[in-house]
Structure 1
Amino acid sequence: MQGLIEQHTGPLVSARQVTEGFNSEISVVINDSTFVKGLRTDHPRAWTQERERQINPYVRHVTAPLRWSRTEDGWDLNGFDFLDGRAASYKPSSPDLQPIAAMMIQWPTAPDGVELKQASQRWSAYSDRPELFDGAWLSHTDWSPGNVLITGDRAYMLDWAWPTRGARWIDPACWVVWLIAEGHHPAHAEARAARVQAFAAAPDLAVTAFARAQAAMWEDIAENAPHPALDSAATTWVGHRTA
C-alpha cells in the first residue's frame, strides 16, 4: 500500500494516524500535506468511498478537497488536502459556534447526478410525518464534533460519506441535539441554529416532527451512539418544543 500512496505523495517522510471522526480502516496524514482515507474493497461500507468522491466537487469550499483516488491491490483510497486544525467544541462558551453556523449557510443544493436518500427515507422508521423533512438541499447529518474541523476562524465539515437530500434546515436541526448534549439549554441551542436562516424560517410543525424523529432514533441506537447524552438530549428537545 505504501507504494500506491507514494505514487501520489512522493516518498514517505512522515505518517501519523488520525483516530477521531473517520469510519475507515486507513486514516493517515502523509508528509503533513495529504490525508489518506481508505477501506478494503470487500468492506461492507466500501461504497462510501465512491460516494465521497462523487460529493466532493460540490462541497470543496467547506471541506478538504479530494486530490486523487486509487482502487488497487484490494484497497480503495482517497487522498485529500490535509487541513491542519482541531476538532470543534460545542460547549456553550465555545468560540467555534459562530464559524460553524457560518459554514452551514454555504451548503449547496443536492447534486442531481449523485444518488442520495431523501430525508423522508432516512428517518421513515422514526416518524409518522417524514415527508416534512424532504427538500432539495444537501445534508451531512453526522454532527459529531470530530467531523467538524476548526482552522483559524473557519470551520470545515469532513467525512461526507453519508450525505442526504432534504430540507435546508435539516443539518442545523441535527446540530441542535448535539448542542443540548454538550450543555446548552434547548432554547439557546435553537437560537444558535437559528443563525442559519433556513432553520429560523423552518415550519414549527416540521421541526417538532424532526425532533421527535431524532429522539426515537437516538433511543433506538443509544448503545452505539457517539455521545452518551444524545438520547436524553433529543428527548429534552422534544419536551421543550411541546411544553
Structure 2
Amino acid sequence: MAKTSWHELPRGVRDAVQRELGGVAGVEMISEGLSSDVTFVAETGLGRLFVKGARLDDDLKARQLRREISINPYVTHLSPEIRLQVEEAEWLIVGFDYVEGRRADYSPLSPDIPLVLDLLGELSETPCPEIPLRDAGRLRESHARPEDLHRFSGDALAHTDLNPGNFRITSDGRAYLVDWARYSRGAPWIDATAFAMCLMTCGHTPYDAEGIMAALPVWKTLEPGDLDAVAYYQSAMRSAWQPRLDPWTNASVAAARRWFDYRVGLEVGL
C-alpha cells in the first residue's frame, strides 16, 4: 500500500504538527518503513526530524508506534530522541531527532560490525525499565521446543529486530539503533544471538558468526544447550514463513537452516 504524503494528511494533523514544531519549512518523503503509514524528514523549528505516523484505525501500526514512544526515554543513549508526539484526526504522529547516516553493512570484514558490537555492549548494560514488556519466552512458544522455552526468559531489555536497516552508521563512526517496536524482556543474550543470525544472513558461516559474537561479555552468559535451542527456534520459525520476494527474508531462512545443521553437527561430533 502506498504511503500517505505530508500534503495528504488531514489539515488538522498538519496544523497540529506545525504548532508543536514551530513550523515546517520543508519535507522530504521517505518510502522505506513498512510499519508506518507516513514517513518523512522535516526541516522544523526544532531542527531536522525524522517523522513517522500511523492511522489509529490500523491497530498494529498504531500499537507499534506507541511501543516506541514508551521505550524511548530509556534508550536515548543508543537511539534518536523523540521530539514530537501528535494525536489528531485519527492519526498518531511521532518525530525523532534525525540521524544523518546509512544502513549498516554486516558482510564479512565490514568495519561496521565492531560499531554494532559496541552498541550491543551498551544495550546489554542498559537497565530494563519498569514498563509493560513482552516476555521473550512466551513470544517463542509457537516455534521453540517446549523444553527450551525457559532458556529465553530473563530480565534483560532486548530490541530483537537487528536487521541492517535498523542501525544507522554516521560519518564519524557511531551506530544508532532505531525502530524499537518489537522490544521485549528476556535472557541477556537475546540480542547477541539475534545479531549472530543477521551475520549469517549476510554471508558469515555459523562458526565465524559465533566467534565474532564471543567478543561480547553477554555471550559468556550462555548456558550449555542455549545456542542449540536458539538455532532450532530460528530454523523452525523461518521455515514456517511463506516464500517472499525480498532477498533478506529468503537469505535468513537459508542461514537459519545452516545454523541448525551446524549445531546438530556439533552435538553428534561431526
TM-score, reference length from structure 1: 0.94
Cα-Cα RMSD: 1.6
Q: Structure 2 unaligned segments of length 5 or more: list them.
A: 1-12, 266-270
Write the distance in 1 (CA, Å) between the matches of 2:220 and 2:38: 39
Report 1:195-210 matches (<5 A): 195-210=215-230
| Offset at residue 51 of structure 1 (A) | 1.2
Report 1:50-199 matches (<5 A): 50-107=66-123, 108-112=126-130, 114-128=131-145, 129-151=148-170, 152-199=172-219
| Offset at residue 201 of structure 1 (A) | 3.3
Q: Structure 1 unaligned segments of length 5 or more: list them.
A: none
Report whether the alignment pairs 1:239 with 2:256.
no
Relative contact order, higher structure (CA 8 A, sep 6+): 1
Write the distance in 2 (CA, Å) between the matches of 1:194 and 1:20: 33
C-alpha distance after superposition, 1:47-104 (max 9, x if no partner)? 1222111100111111111112111111111111111100001110211000100001
Label 1:111 to 1:22 Cα distance change in 2 as closer, same or farther (>3 A). farther
Label 1:222 to 1:170 Cα distance change in 2 as closer, same or farther (>3 A). farther
Write the distance in 1 (CA, Å) between the matches of 2:203 and 2:48: 35
Count of residue correspondences: 242
2:188–2:221 CA contact under 8 A, matched in 1: no
Write the distance in 1 (CA, Å) between the matches of 2:91 and 2:182: 20
The percent identity for this pair of structures is 32
Write the distance in 1 (CA, Å) between the matches of 2:114 and 2:71: 25
Write the distance in 1 (CA, Å) between the matches of 2:152 and 2:166: 23
Q: Give the corresponding residue for 2:5.
A: none
TM-score, reference length from structure 2: 0.85
Write the distance in 1 (CA, Å) between the matches of 2:35 and 2:159: 15
Write the distance in 1 (CA, Å) between the matches of 2:254 and 2:91: 39
Moved over 4 A (4+): none
Write the distance in 2 (CA, Å) between the matches of 1:173 and 1:179: 10
2:71–2:180 CA contact under 8 A, matched in 1: yes
